[in-house]
Structure 1
Amino acid sequence: MVRIKAGEVDRDNSVDKVEQILQGAMQEFLQHGYAGTSMDRVAVAAGVSKATVYSHFQDKEGLFKVLLEQLASKKNNSIFGTEPIEGEPGAILHQVATKALEQMINDKEHSAFMRVLIGESGRFPELAQICVRAMIKPVAETLTQYLAAPELKIPDPEATARILIGALVHFHITQNVMHGEDIIPMESDRLIDALTHLINKCAD
């Protein structure tokens, strides 16, 4: 017979509760926006008591921050993996850019969440800053570190990383978040091929 200690059960239940709360919070933020979401609504959506929500999250901003950080961590790991980036520059950058755009384009929840974030950023600039800190900064740092390799001969790796990220984010926002794919259509492969070509030119 396998015996489970009470503390282990408590930890498992705690993890499950947090996941329930985060799922409920995502549902509410997408439906009602940040301003329209309350901890009461989150509790109802998550199927837990308000006291349970507050036992894990101090306030709505803290809950939003954890949700965003979890989303960012999941996205970044799926794009870069957990090992250092190594390989031929053109192939690596093509692979990273393709994964990044696939993640953004195919994940409808991510697009919806970005609409909420952009829409609320005027009234709640700290939310946008959380996004930049949790989602954009780690990607920029990882790419900068890779592009700084001496053999690539890139004069300004940090600025180049910003250019790459900016092009991908702009594509995602104009095509998907703002529903502009029929107005300024472009295949994602064209963008990725052009970016890869630019980097290869720098590395030649």
Structure 2
Amino acid sequence: MTEIKQRISERTKSEAKTAAVLKGAMKEFLQNGYAGTSMDKVAKSAGVSKATVYSHFGDKENLFNVVIQDLVKDEFQQFMGLEKPQSLEQDPKIVLSAMTTKMLANFQNNRSFQDFMRIIVGESGRFPELAKAYVNGVAKPTIEILTKYLKSHPALELADPEATVRVMMGTMVYFVMLQEMMHGKDIVPLEGDRVIKTLTDLITRNQD
């Protein structure tokens, strides 16, 4: 029993250190960008040794990837439930409207996510693997799940479900970038509900 308790204690300590490193890394990346962040700075911000940072995450690139995945995991799980069988049977107009509403609200209200998107885009030329990690970890599974969902509803009569998903995602991303990240809401204001309704109506126009 003592050995089991010791293992549990060690695992708990390890998880606590991991959480501290991720929190410290997020702070440093947001303040200094990817290039301006070092493992030394992350260790200092997290209150752990540099050896601990390296032992848990290997290198800065992997640490950044984990931070990105940790940042979007909750948001992704909240509005992407389409891999569940019961979701695949629900009315597309209701599902797509609810999902895009949650997606837009999360992205608009999550300043940290917006800041990380700036870093990914800004550093993608010098560090293409960062952008690729985001695409593999976030964009690709979203595209696959939504494409599967649209294909499961032939009554929509979509000629190309995957391309439809790309158009939908591109519209949402551009809307957030223009309105929130580029301050477009002060110059060319537009309610998100109008974008969501237009997208949903276009995709489900043949449903009835």
Q: TM-score, normalised by structure 2?
A: 0.92
Is 1:107 the counterpart of 2:107? The answer is no
Q: Return the alpha-carbon distance in structure 1 between the equivalents of residues 84 and 149 of structure 2.
A: 12
| Matched-pair identity in % | 49
**What does residue 21 of structure 2 align with?**
21
The list of structure 1 runs, each at least 4 consecutive aligned residues, that deviate by more than 3 angstroms after superposition, is: none
Q: Report the alpha carbon displacement of residue 146 of structure 1 after superposing the two structures with TM.
A: 0.5
1:132-147 to structure 2, matched below 5 A, reads: 132-147=135-150
Q: Return the alpha-carbon distance in structure 1 between the equivalents of residues 53 and 37 of structure 2.
A: 13
Q: Report the alpha carbon displacement of residue 115 of structure 1 after superposing the two structures with TM.
A: 1.3
Q: 91, 96, 109: which is aligned to 1:93? A: 96
1:16-165 to structure 2, matched below 5 A, reads: 16-81=16-81, 83-84=84-85, 85-86=87-88, 87-149=90-152, 150-165=154-169
Structure 1: gaps spanning 5 or more residues: none
Structure 2: gaps spanning 5 or more residues: none
Cα distance per residue 1:160-183 (max 9 Å; x no partner): 111110110010111112222112
Q: Return the alpha-carbon distance in structure 2 between the equivalents of residues 192 and 134 of structure 1.
A: 24
The letter for the 1-side match of 2:191 is: E
**What does residue 176 of structure 1 align with?**
180
Q: Return the alpha-carbon distance in structure 2 between the equivalents of residues 106 and 69 of structure 1.
A: 18
The letter for the 2-side match of 1:32 is: N
Cα distance per residue 1:54-108 (max 9 Å; x no partner): 1101100010111112223222101123734231111110001001001100111
Q: Return the alpha-carbon distance in structure 2 between the equivalents of residues 16 and 83 of structure 1.
A: 32
**What does residue 201 of structure 2 align with?**
197
The letter for the 1-side match of 2:177 is: I
The answer (yes or no) to whether the contact 2:143–2:165 under 8 Å persists in 1 is yes
Q: Return the alpha-carbon distance in structure 2 between the equivalents of residues 83 and 99 of structure 1.
A: 17
Q: Return the alpha-carbon distance in structure 1 between the equivalents of residues 155 and 84 of structure 2.
A: 20
The answer (yes or no) to whether the contact 1:114–1:177 under 8 Å persists in 2 is no
How much is the aligned-residue C-alpha RMSD, in angstroms?
A: 1.7
The answer (yes or no) to whether the contact 2:24–2:45 under 8 Å persists in 1 is yes
User: Per the alignment, in what secondary structure is the counterpart of residue 5 of structure 1?
Assistant: helix
Q: Return the alpha-carbon distance in structure 1 between the equivalents of residues 50 and 150 of structure 2.
A: 47
The letter for the 1-side match of 2:137 is: A
- Structure 1 stretch displaced more, 14-23 or 74-83: 74-83
**What does residue 7 of structure 1 align with?**
7
